[in-house]
Structure formats: structure tokens, C-alpha cells
Amino acid sequence: MTDLSPVLAALDADRDGALERLFELIRIPSISTDPAWKADCRRAAEWLVADLATIGFAASVRDTAGHPVVVGHHDGDGPSVLFYGHYDVQPVDPEGEWASPPFAPRLEERDGRTVIAGRGSADDKGQLMTFVEACRAFKKVHGKLPCKVTVIFEGEEESGSPSIVPFLHANATELKADYALVCDTNMWDAQTPSISVGLRGLMEEEIVVTAADRDLHSGYFGGAAANPIHIVAKIVADLRDTDGRILIPGFYDGVDETPPDILAMWNGLGRTPEAFLGSVGLKHPVGEKGRTLLELTWARPTAEVNGIIGGYTGEGFKTVIPGKASAKISCRLVHRQEPETIRAAFRQFVRERVPADCSVAFINHGGAPATQLPYDSPVLGKARAALTDEWGRETIMACMGGSIPIVGLFQAMLGMDSVMVGFGLGDDRIHSPNEKYDLNSFRKGARSWARILSALAA
């Protein structure tokens, strides 16, 4: 184990240098979704390779069918980690709404805090550089890293990551590590660090119910002919009981109860239904009775209609009994729920509700399992203690209601758990004009990674 204190001191001593390096990276307009910026994406990748080389990484720009991936390897004695970030950024439009040019980073005072303004400052250049700076300080002080570190910086995260699956497939052996470290998430608030330990999975399915072989006149046939909208509506209504529990048989297989200490922690966070739902004009949480808001959105599965259509939907009225009606239904999954098992159970649930003279077609729109770091995993305990040491506040074990695709891919393709630590804040305006990253996030983020790397090696 290497001594941590001089590493933290080195990070503090080189604050200005670290900021200037981040500014250099932000100045490269690496917008991945617009082909006009293709050369800049490559330039950002090359800048990262060059910077990693100064720290002793064997780094290279790796071509893909789209924008390149940066991979860098550094030896170390401890466990092996794969650090993930992305160097591409969102477009800047509407450009007129930026208070300063998006690719001319600068320090500003906002709401009493010093922030780094610029596109990509938070998402994800500032975040990924916290890790790079931690490695740099270790190398400077000790001449080595406390872990065997591989970094992977993607260039297409903001444009659907079309190349990442083939890249991971082709380079699985090279990239496999004991666990992944992913820096693309937020703190709980500006003072409170957070680790995202669970991400909900997804099962997406469309149903198309056919009754009559044509649209019917509701005067002539009404009262006798099956109406597919009613069939679909009944299926949707049957999905949940009055207590919000989902009634697809076997649906809750693989759903774990969240440990009481974690629930107690969540309950202490003060995310009230009034505040959370009030922000969108609602008040009362739906979902399973007896579960708190955070449990409902973080640790419980859902079955939800995302779209429905049938019959006449234009202006005015038409007394038709349509031949078809359809709905798009998705389930957010948690823990060990298996998407394809849920899909099969859902299809059976639907079939049982379609009358014998009607039919249903299913369209599989994909799915992904949930990812969940066990609350008692050693790596989680180490990262949690390291963050608490740095920030002086208990680290929140948080979950996310949606998925982060790369985490699912690391799990599915490389068999790796991911530790998701990030220093973004809810007011960072990512994807919007005037994106910023708190200077404090950047500085203490780097110190946090130094502590985590040290703790992992212990």
C-alpha cells in the first residue's frame, strides 16, 4: 500500500495545472452526434492519449466504425480496475442562450459557488479528468499506481454508443478487470457524496390486439362485436391491483427487499413526494402501498404503459369500433428480475385476456436486466469509506430508476460489477446551455478517486 497523504497534497499543489488541462480538453468541441465535428472528436481522443502517456499509460486511439475509443493501460500491484468515461459532448444549441461561448471554458461565480462553465465540463470531461488527475498525483508522488488501471474513454456516449458493443466484444480480454469504475453520475447534493449501487433494468414490449377484420360501425355492431380498445384497456387495468402491486404471475421473482439500514438512510434524505412530484405538478405517489417514494423509484419494479392508440383519434368524433388497438408497455426491473422471463410471463398474462375470437401480436422492443451492487460487497464498503473521509459526510448508497447502458454491458459482456461514483450536481445543466461543473466537484473529485484507489489496494 502506498501512502495517501502526499498524493492528496500533490493534488492540492497542482490545482491550477489540473484546471488548465481540463480547460484544454473542453476547448476541443467533440460533439459526437454531428459529423461536422468528427475531426474534433478524434482530436479530443488524441489529446487524452497524449495526456495519459505523460502519466505512463500505454494509451492509444482505437478506431471504430464511428468515433474512436481511447484505451490506456497502467500496471499496478493491487486489484485491476477499468475506469470508464466519455470524451464526447452534446451539441450546444440553442447557442444564443449561452452566457459565455460553450467551448471557451472559464471560472464563474454562480449561486455563491465557483463553477467551471463550458460544454462537457460536467458531462463528462470534468468527471473523467478527476480520475486522470488522481492517477497523475499517485504517479508523481510514488512513481506507480496502487491498482492495475485500464481506462476506456468512449466517444459516442451522447449519440447512442453504436460502436461500444462491437468494441467490447472484440476487446473483452483486454478490458476485463476485477470491477469497473464509472464516473458519469451525480452527488446527492453539493456536500454529500453518493455511490449509485443499483440501476433498474427494462423490458419493452408492444401488443397489438386484433378483433374484427375491419373497422365496424358502432351502431350496427355495437353491443355484439368485441372492441379491441376495451381488451387493451382491460389488460392495462389488470396490470396492478388497488394496492399498486403488479399482477403478472411471477413478476416479483428475483425482487429483493432492500436492507432496513439502506431504507432508513433513504428515508433520511428528505426526498418527499411533495418536493419530488410537486416539481411536475403532482402530489401523490402511485405504486405499491407502504413503500416510500425513493424505494418506489429506485428499488421496486414497475409495469407501465408508455403509449396507447386505437380507433379514431382526430378532431371531432367517429362512432367506430376499430379492428385493432395497440399499446407499448415497459417494465422497470430491479435486482435479479430476468427480462425475458418477465416478457414471457407478460405475454401469457395478455393472452389470457384476449377473447378466443380475437388475437394478439407481440413486438419485442428489447430489454436489459437491472444491475445491483450487493450492499455488503467489499468494494462498495471501501469506496463508501473513502468518499466519506473526503467529504466529511456519510456517503449515500443511492440507486437510479433508469439504466446506464455501459454498466449493463460491463456486467453482461465482461462479467464485471461497476462502482458508480460521480461528482455532478442536479444544477449542472448537462445537455443544456450554460453547462457547468463545480470547481469543488472537480478538486474534491480528484481527491476522492485518490482515496478510492488507495482503499481498493488496501
User: Which residues, 383 to 442, sit near a copy of itself by CB under 8 A?
Assistant: 400-403
Among 220, 275, 351, 352, binds a copy of itself (CB under 8 A): 220
Among 277, 385, 412, 413, binds a copy of itself (CB under 8 A): 277
**By CB under 8 A, how many residues form the interface with a copy of itself?**
80
Buried b (16+ CB within 10 A) or exposed e, 200-221: bbbbbbbbbbbbbeeebebeee
Residue 243 as a binder of a copy of itself (CB under 8 A): the answer is no
List Cβ neighbours of 244 (8 Å cut-off, separation of 6 or more).
286, 287, 288, 289
Determine the residue type at 59.
A
Residue 453 CA: distances (Å) to CA of 17, 39, 124, 446: 21, 34, 20, 11
Under the criterion CB under 8 A, does residue 16 sit at the interface with a copy of itself? Answer: no
Selected from 5, 65, 173, 317, the binder of a copy of itself by CB under 8 A is 317
Q: Which stretch binds a copy of itself (CB under 8 A): 55-63, 146-154, 299-307, 380-388?
A: 299-307
Separation CA 338–CA 386 (nearest Å) = 33
CA–CA gap between residue 324 and residue 360 (Å, rounded): 9
The only residue of 146, 310, 339, 424 in contact with a copy of itself, by rule CB under 8 A? 310
Task: Establish if 324 lies at the interface with a copy of itself (CB under 8 A).
Answer: no
- Binding to a copy of itself by residue 284, rule CB under 8 A? yes
Does residue 325 touch a copy of itself according to CB under 8 A?
yes
Region from 22-30, 177-185, 207-215, 414-422 binding a copy of itself, contact rule CB under 8 A: 207-215
Contact between 263 and a copy of itself (CB under 8 A)?
no
Q: How far is the CB of 63 from a copy of itself (least distance, A)?
A: 29
Q: Which of 35, 94, 143, 223 binds a copy of itself (CB under 8 A)?
A: 223
Q: How far is the CB of 264 from a copy of itself (least distance, A)?
A: 19
Contact status, residue 1 vs residue 146, Cβ threshold 8 Å: yes
Q: Return the CA Rg of the chain.
A: 25
Least distance between a copy of itself and beta carbon 107 (Å): 31
Task: Please state the closest distance from residue 287 (CB atom) to a copy of itself, in A.
Answer: 4
Which residue number, 71 or 232, has a Cβ lying nearer to a copy of itself? Answer: 232
DSSP E strand boundaries for 63-141: 69-74, 80-86, 106-110, 113-117
Measured from the CB atom, is 195 or 399 closer to a copy of itself? 399
Determine, following the binding rule CB under 8 A, whether residue 255 of this chain makes contact with a copy of itself. no
> Min. distance of Cβ 271 from a copy of itself in angstroms?
10
Element (H, E) at 24: helix 15-27
Is residue 206 involved in binding a copy of itself (CB under 8 A)? yes
By three-state DSSP, how is residue 312 classified?
coil
**Separation CA 78–CA 94 (nearest Å):** 46
C-alpha pair distances (Å), 129 with each of 67, 184, 436, 445: 20, 11, 15, 9
Conformation bin of residue 73: beta by default, left when phi > 0, alpha when psi is -120 to 50: beta
> In the complex, what is the shortest distance from the CB of residue 59 to a copy of itself, in angstroms, rounded to a whole number?
34
| Beta pairing class for 148-154 and 80-86 | parallel
d(CA 328, CA 330): 7
The stretch near a copy of itself (CB under 8 A) out of 4-12, 27-35, 310-318, 441-449 is: 310-318
| Dist CA 138 CA 450 (whole Å) | 7
333 lines the binding site for a copy of itself (CB under 8 A): no
Among 6, 285, 405, 433, the residue binding a copy of itself under the rule CB under 8 A is 285
Task: List the one residue from 355, 374, 381, 426 that touches a copy of itself (CB under 8 A).
Answer: 355
For position 282 contacting a copy of itself by CB under 8 A, the verdict is yes
Is there a contact between 339 and 369 (Cβ–Cβ < 8 Å)? yes
DSSP state of 124: I
Residue 208 sits in the site that holds a copy of itself (CB under 8 A): no
Contact 91, 33 (CB under 8 A): yes
Pick 254 or 401: Cβ nearer a copy of itself = 401
Beta sheet of 436-438, edge-to-edge order: 106-110, 113-117, 436-438
Member of 357, 376, 392, 415 binding a copy of itself (CB under 8 A): 357
From 166, 259, 366, 426, residue interacting with a copy of itself (rule: CB under 8 A) = 366
